[in-house]
């Protein structure tokens, strides 16, 4: 079974631009979560999608948005990029079955905002 796939692997953008990141979950997983990882802040939860609906949302500004498609693939969009948005963005999928809630992470997208 293929793992969680994130594209692109690296991105360089300038302030004010917008960016879209993509995540393809493990086949059969209907939940996709997004996390921002920075050296000083650890893993910060952005949002979780399940069956095309946002299930939970973290404490991030409205510039951060996401969506999920019918095939469970998810995209995350960040508009009006700021220098502080530079981070590793990780997505994780999980199968929402009882007792099997572990997260499977992708390799992440390293975003640099100049």
Partner 1 sequence: GQQVMQIPQYQHVQEGEDFTTYCNSSTTLSNIQWYKQRPGGHPVFLIQLVKSGEVKKQKRLTFQFGEAKKNSSLHITATQTTDVGTYFCAGDNYGQNFVFGPGTRLSVLP
- Is residue 59 involved in binding partner 1 (CB under 8 A)? yes
Rounded Cα distance, 70 and 79, in Å: 24
- Is residue 50 involved in binding partner 1 (CB under 8 A)? no
- Is residue 24 involved in binding partner 1 (CB under 8 A)? no
Q: Which of 11, 19, 24, 35 binds partner 1 (CB under 8 A)?
A: 35
- Is residue 49 involved in binding partner 1 (CB under 8 A)? no
| Residue 23: burial class (beta carbons within 10 Å; 0-12, 13-18, 19+) | buried
Q: Which stretch binds partner 1 (CB under 8 A): 15-23, 50-58, 61-69, 72-80?
A: 50-58
Which parts of 14-108 are beta strand (E)? Answer: 19-24, 31-38, 42-50, 53-57, 64-68, 74-78, 87-94, 104-105
Q: What residues line the site for partner 1 (CB under 8 A)? A: 33, 35, 41-45, 48, 55-56, 58-59, 90, 92, 99, 101-108
């Amino acid at each position: 079974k293929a793992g969680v796939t994130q594209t692109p692997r690296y991105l360089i953008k300038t302030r004010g631009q917008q960016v879209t990141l993509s995540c393809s979950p493990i086949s059969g997983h209907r939940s996709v979560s997004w996390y921002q990882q920075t050296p000083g802040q650890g893993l910060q939860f952005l949002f979780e999608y399940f069956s095309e609906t946002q299930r939970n949302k973290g404490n991030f500004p409205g510039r951060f948005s996401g969506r999920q498609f019918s095939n469970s693939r998810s995209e995350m969009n960040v508009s009006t990029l700021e220098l502080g948005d530079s981070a590793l963005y990780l997505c994780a999928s999980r199968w929402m079955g009882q007792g099997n809630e572990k997260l499977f992470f992708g390799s992440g997208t390293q975003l640099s905002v100049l």
